[in-house]
Amino acid sequence: MDDDEPINRDKDPDAWADAVAADVPLVTQMDDGAVGGGLFPSSAASMPSLVRFMLDQLDVEPDHDVLEIGTGTGWSTALLATALTDDRVTSIEVDAHVAAHAQESLFAGDFEPTLIIGDGLRGHKEGAPYDRLIATMAVQRVPYEWVEQVKPGGVIVTPWGTAFHNSGLLRMVVGEDGTASGRFVGSVNFMWARSQRRRFDTREFVGDVIPDPGTARVRHTTTDPRPMRDEHAEFAIGLCLPEVEQRVYFGRGDAAGEYTQWLSDGESWASVDYKPGADRFEVNESGPRDLWADVETAFEGWRNRGEPPREQHGVTVTRDGQWTWFDGPNDRVNVGPAPAT
Ligand SMILES: C[S@@+](CC[C@H](N)C(=O)[O-])C[C@H]1O[C@@H](n2cnc3c(N)ncnc32)[C@H](O)[C@@H]1O
């Protein structure tokens, strides 16, 4: 099975069956369905072992009412319907074409969930309150509507990331006081909620995001940038610099082993070039902020805290916004803006 080649079910049913049976994520739509695209995945059937892990974290009982955000193929909706009495799952999909396809598959399998076409970041208050809420796309900001629509004691499971690094599975419990709080429980990498995508995700070239590379200030650093690419380091750096996007380009051929890391906050940008064997690395920067210095400072902070893993961090969501924390809700890493959904 070639990872990048589309599989046509009618022309190659064996390859299709193999792909469906494999424990891999399967992209089912590119570029929001735009014809001739091929830039970014916009819908998928999630990796089965990961869905299992997420459903374990959700901890559903047969008599629960569950809200799912991101119907996709409808596969995880069917799993939930199977686990619940009377198919008590409501699933929201933002893409009408994807939703219609899921509906067809689910009804063909005799499942009867409530299917909604719309922006799942708003939840579905007509069906609230829910015992459980699960999202199958990543958010940078947890909408307060989700917290409002889940019963006290209820659980919210969602992929969560920052523009810098997208790898957290967040499990929060809703409190009697109308807030929700919880830790990261593992590593997942989901596509973003459509309105929370980063600029780098939907642009083909760095030049589409970084303006005027010729205007950069050039300096050199003797700090090896590679340790900053550790996944837990990147996760923690992202908590400190949630608005800084990054994209990494790896060299090929003669340049194998080299990479360039690009950073942008929308106004300032920076890049750092890693070359094997070098003892100083070129840094290019433009704009009012020294973004590479900010990354180095955040990395030092993570090291000084003893290099805590992702799972030592968490998020609290209130009506006024969300904040991320280290060890416990009172040890704030970053006070985020009010969730703009
Ligand atoms: C990884 S796929 C979902 C996989 C799905 N659970 C399955 O088992 O096939 C993520 C889905 O979330 C949808 N999505 C993205 N943003 C959304 C939003 N704001 N509201 C609802 N659905 C959204 C995408 O269109 C995509 O179909």
For residue 254, what is the domain's CATH number? 3.30.310
Whether 123 maps to a domain, the answer reads no
Is residue 235 helix, strand or coil? helix
The pTM assigned to this predicted structure is 0.94
Whether 21 maps to a domain, the answer reads no
Q: Which residues is 170 bridged to in the sheet? A: 158, 184
Whether 189 maps to a domain, the answer reads no
Domain residues for the domain of 252 are 206-304
Q: What span, in angstroms and rounded, lies between the C-alpha atoms of 80 and 208?
A: 41
Q: What span, in angstroms and rounded, lies between the C-alpha atoms of 164 and 314?
A: 17
219 sits in the region (left: phi over 0; alpha: psi -120 to 50; else beta) called beta
Q: 69: Cβ below 6 Å to ligand 1?
A: yes
**CA geometry: angle 134, 25, 245, nearest 5 deg:** 75
Whether 52 maps to a domain, the answer reads no
Q: What mean pLDDT is predicted for residues 22-30? A: 93
Q: 291: Cβ below 6 Å to ligand 1?
A: no
User: 243 vs 140, 165, 193, 300, CA distance in Å?
Assistant: 10, 10, 16, 19
Whether 290 maps to a domain, the answer reads yes
- φ, ψ of residue 273 to 5 degrees: the values are -105, 120
Supply 331's token pair. 């040890």
* Model pLDDT, residue 36: 76
Whether 96 maps to a domain, the answer reads no
Q: What span, in angstroms and rounded, lies between the C-alpha atoms of 296 and 302?
A: 10
Q: 48: Cβ below 6 Å to ligand 1?
A: no
What would the pLDDT profile of 304-334 be if each residue is shown by its tens digit?
999 999 999 999 999 999 999 998 888 888 6
Q: Number of folded domains in the chain?
A: 1
Atom of ligand 1 nearest to the CA of 120: 20
Q: What span, in angstroms and rounded, lies between the C-alpha atoms of 229 and 233?
A: 7
| pLDDT confidence band for 131 (50 / 70 / 90) | very high
Strands 332-335 and 259-264: unpaired
Whether 247 maps to a domain, the answer reads yes
Name the residue at shortest CA distance from atom 5 of ligand 1: 72
* Model pLDDT, residue 206: 72
Whether 241 maps to a domain, the answer reads yes
